[in-house]
């Protein structure tokens, strides 16, 4: 008996439904991504898991159109291919719920970080904000990628391929050293999960963020990705060149920096740090 392949079955039904090649390719790409993320469970996920998956795309700074396409592909898979009820009813599950490029004020960022009780997760959230990391990049960050001499973080993808470099805040560097001194395991990951070769899940970091938001009394309907967005906006407000911010974020399309520029209402190029101040800071 042949094994059920959700991608191939989706391809067959899309062709049967007369969908355009562009739509078909988009749907198939999203179904492949879903299968790569969840494996065999991709065809039996609960609505809440699918909502969390879509919110994860927000964390990765995917565009609104990309997220809406993913949502449409998931609906097609479940209703047409699997013949199940629509797991994502209503328009724009994510886009209506969370502004894609919302930010926190500096005071809110401080309150969030101060209200994380576990040092491990406080450090994880600090890195998201201070270095502009995505939550996934934070989760599978390795010890060897922290360059204390150059005050740089070398960011790799999940398999270990180098993506970009970003800044390492001195406050984070001190905390990382203290944190590593308390570790007794031999894991190569900065934030190990259960088992020697595993790393903490992005969902666990997101949970720590949600708990810190609650403890800080911040009621904004936000996501962890807002810390990364705040990193970009606060750098722009402090006079950092937009191309540098784009590089630190790992954004390849120049137009994708535009939302951050619009949010940087207090932008002032003259707030950039004078080189003389570095001698005495």
Residues 157 and 69 in one domain: no
pLDDT at 97: 47
pLDDT at 102: 81
* The total number of structural domains that make up the chain: 2
Here the CATH number for the domain that contains residue 27 is 1.10.150.130
Residues 113 and 201 in one domain: yes
Residues 53 and 149 in one domain: no
Domain boundary among 81, 96, 126: 81
Residues 170 and 76 in one domain: no
140, part of any domain: yes
Residues 159 and 116 in one domain: yes
Phi, psi (5° rounding) for residue 41? -70, -10
Residues 166 and 230 in one domain: yes
Residues 122 and 220 in one domain: yes
203, part of any domain: yes
Residues 184 and 59 in one domain: no
86, part of any domain: no
Residues 249 and 114 in one domain: yes
Here the CATH number for the domain that contains residue 177 is 1.10.443.10
pLDDT at 75: 93
Residues 35 and 75 in one domain: yes
89, part of any domain: no
Q: Kindly give the parts of the chain with pLDDT less than 50.
A: 1, 95-98
The answer for residues whose C-beta is within 8 angstroms of residue 235's C-beta and 6 or more apart is 244, 245, 248
Q: What's the CA angle centered on 33, arms 31 and 37, to 5 degrees?
A: 115
Can you give the pTM of this predicted structure?
0.68
Residues 253 and 132 in one domain: yes
Pairing of strands 162-167, 146-147: unpaired
Residues 190 and 228 in one domain: yes
100, part of any domain: no
220, part of any domain: yes
Which range of residues forms the domain containing residue 214? 106-271
Q: What tens digit of pLDDT does each residue of 33-92 get?
A: 999 888 888 999 888 788 878 877 766 667 777 888 999 999 999 999 999 999 887 655
How far is residue 192's CA from residue 141's CA, in Å, rounded to a whole number?
9
């Amino acid at each position: 008996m042949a094994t059920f392949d959700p991608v191939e079955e989706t391809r067959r039904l899309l062709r049967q439904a007369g969908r355009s090649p562009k739509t078909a390719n988009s749907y198939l790409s999203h179904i492949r991504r879903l299968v790569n993320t969840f494996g065999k469970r991709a065809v039996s996920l609960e609505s809440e898991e699918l909502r969390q998956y879509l919110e994860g795309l927000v964390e990765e700074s995917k565009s609104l159109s990309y997220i809406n396409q993913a949502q449409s592909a998931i609906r097609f898979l479940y209703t047409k291919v699997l013949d199940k009820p629509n797991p994502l009813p209503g328009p724009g599950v994510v886009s209506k719920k969370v502004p894609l490029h919302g930010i926190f004020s500096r005071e809110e960022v401080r309150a969030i970080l101060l209200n994380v009780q576990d040092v491990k997760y406080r450090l994880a959230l600090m890195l998201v904000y201070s270095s502009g990391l995505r939550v996934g990049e934070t989760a599978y960050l390795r010890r060897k990628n922290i360059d204390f001499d150059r005050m740089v973080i070398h960011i790799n993808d999940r398999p270990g391929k180098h993506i970009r470099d970003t800044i390492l805040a001195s406050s984070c560097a001190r905390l990382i050293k203290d944190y590593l001194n308390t570790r007794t395991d031999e894991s190569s990951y900065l934030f190990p999960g259960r088992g020697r070769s595993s790393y903490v899940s992005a969902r666990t970091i997101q949970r720590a963020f949600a708990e810190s938001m609650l403890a800080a009394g911040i009621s904004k309907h936000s996501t962890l990705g807002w810390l990364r967005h705040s990193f970009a906006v606060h750098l722009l407000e402090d006079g950092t060149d937009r191309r540098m911010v784009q590089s630190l974020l790992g954004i390849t399309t120049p137009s994708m920096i535009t939302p951050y520029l619009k949010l940087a209402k207090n932008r002032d190029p003259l707030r950039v740090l004078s080189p003389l101040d570095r001698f005495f800071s």
